[in-house]
Amino acid sequence: MKIFQIILEALDSLIANKMRSGLTMLGIVIGVAAVIAMMAIGAGVQNSITGQIEGIGTNLIFVSSGNQQQDVRNPKPLTLADADALADPLAAPSILAVAPSVGTNQEVSAGRESSRISVTGVTPAYANVANETIAEGEFISQEWLQGRSAVAVIGPDTAERLFGYSVGTIGETIRIAGTPYRVVGVLEAKGGSGFGSQDDRVLIPLTTAQSRLIQRNVRDSVDSIQV
């Protein structure tokens, strides 16, 4: 009996203070909705970051010269000899593949479309090490690497930006710093956007990048080695 009396008194209080009760309920609803929204946003961001990391490769290590903890003046650059040493199965038996690379931002154009895009010089091993999948065409081959060929593999966003479509661009010509390159492959989309997008970039043979785009004081120097 006492419980029913309490319930009746509570209902009477709510009816007598409709405005206060309504505002209280509204505050509760808004608070719960805000918490749910924040949890959903957090989960979405986490899934996005996880997806990008998995797209790049969860067992990937980047090797670069210098020291991240200390300011080292004029660090000795990495070279292809360092990559060869890491690829030695006797010296480093746990390393499955090694992919040296050099990178730069260049003006890339096709027809009237032009944009400043990340251009990376890579070897054929890069596809396996960086978990790259070709959606159309083929990846950089050993023949193109040895011949310093003017060929390019482009990301799907790059294809859309330069040509207006990502399918059917094989054989098209793009210009990197004014030099023509033939498109031989289009990468599978990895997702992500903004600075450093994995879908908006150009890959060319490492030897081509070293001889045509990036002039270094040390012969055969590379920016990083991925293992």
The SS3 call for residue 15 is: helix
Residues in the chain: 227
Identify the pLDDT of residue 67. 60
Residue 195 has pLDDT above 80, yes or no: no
Residue 117 has pLDDT above 70, yes or no: yes
Pairing state between β 179-187 and 151-154: parallel
Identify the pLDDT of residue 43. 60
pLDDT band of residue 153 (cuts 50, 70, 90) is very high
Average pLDDT over residues 16-30: 68
Identify the pLDDT of residue 223. 82
In percent, the amount of the chain with pLDDT more than 90 equals: 35
Distance from chain centroid for Cα 92: 27
pLDDT tens figures, 41-98: 766 655 555 555 555 555 677 777 766 555 656 667 788 888 788 777 787 777 778 8
Residue 121 has pLDDT above 90, yes or no: yes
Distance (Å, whole) CA 150 – CA 179: 8
Range with the lowest mean pLDDT among 32-36, 99-103, 124-128, 162-166? 32-36
Indicate whether this model's pTM tops 0.75.
Answer: no
Identify the pLDDT of residue 148. 93
**Are 210 and 120 within 8 A, CB to CB?**
no
Identify the pLDDT of residue 118. 93
Of residues 154, 118, 150, 125, the one with CA closest to residue 137 = 154
Measure the CA angle with vertex 186, ends 104 and 197; round to 5°: 45
Identify the pLDDT of residue 46. 57
pLDDT tens figures, 170-194: 999 999 999 999 999 999 988 765 5
The SS3 call for residue 159 is: helix
